[in-house]
Amino acid sequence: MELLAFGNTGWGDELFIANLMTIAVSITAMFIGFFFALIFTPLKLSKNKFYNFIGNSYTTVIRGVPELLVIYLFFFGGTGAVMYVASIFGYNEYIEINAFITGAFAIGIISGAYSTEVFRGAIQSIDKGQFEAAKTLGLSKVGQFFKIILPQTLRLAIPNLSNVWQITLKDTSLISVTGLVEIMRQSYIAAGSTRDPLFFYSFAAVLYLLLTFLSMKIINKLEVKYSRGYWWI
């Protein structure tokens, strides 16, 4: 256990910080994913063929391409795009995009594709009479959404969103290729330094399992809360 000690004698403090980084990337990516889902869910539900095509293209392409490839495309492609724009203004030095921003954004786009399908399925599962009832109440479209549609959507979506969260959490291990020091990257560094890969990779697995266990506890409480049908309670 000396390898996990805090201070100069072990890797405890580095792994603790890496654990916090993993959580930060996961939460940021989920919020980015929700933002994309907010945009593309209406497009997938739209009766307009063009809008529907855009929504379907997003979910099909992102879910069909390996997650690691998406991260590579955004990390290296994003750097190339920024350097191209900078060269227009006469700056020709190498520019590297922040690994946290790139990683969170790339994973967020992946998360958004899955979240879009979850929300689409949840909305389509709501009885059509609920939409008609919302209109007859004389509520504005915003009121209909927040008071009638959203509570039922959340109740139906949370179980599947828990799966999206697990995917997002595990996908953070892929952004170690960008140099961001999260659990996987720190475990790799520690394993190489101590020449004890089995110990550190096993401990990394324990950390991921612990994060999964704790997050599932929170998600289960949210599921019970929203199953009441009153999302503001």
Question: What domain range is 174 assigned to?
Answer: 16-180
Q: Is residue 68 part of a domain?
A: yes
> Hey, how many other C-beta atoms are within 10 angstroms of the C-beta on 135?
11
Q: Is residue 145 part of a domain?
A: yes
Q: Is residue 109 part of a domain?
A: yes
Q: Into how many domains does the chain fold?
A: 1
* Nearest in space to 11 (alpha carbons), one of 178, 211, 181: 181
**What are 77-119's pLDDT values in tens digits?**
777 777 777 778 777 777 777 888 888 999 999 999 999 999 9
CA–CA dist 117, 206 (Å, integer): 30
pTM across the whole model: 0.85
Phi/psi-derived region of residue 121, left when phi > 0, alpha when psi is between -120 and 50, beta in every other case: alpha
**What are 140-163's pLDDT values in tens digits?**
777 777 777 777 888 888 888 889
**Cβ within 8 Å of residue 145, ≥6 positions away:** none
* Nearest in space to 60 (alpha carbons), one of 68, 71, 52, 48: 52
* CATH number, position 140: 1.10.3720.10
Q: Is residue 49 part of a domain?
A: yes
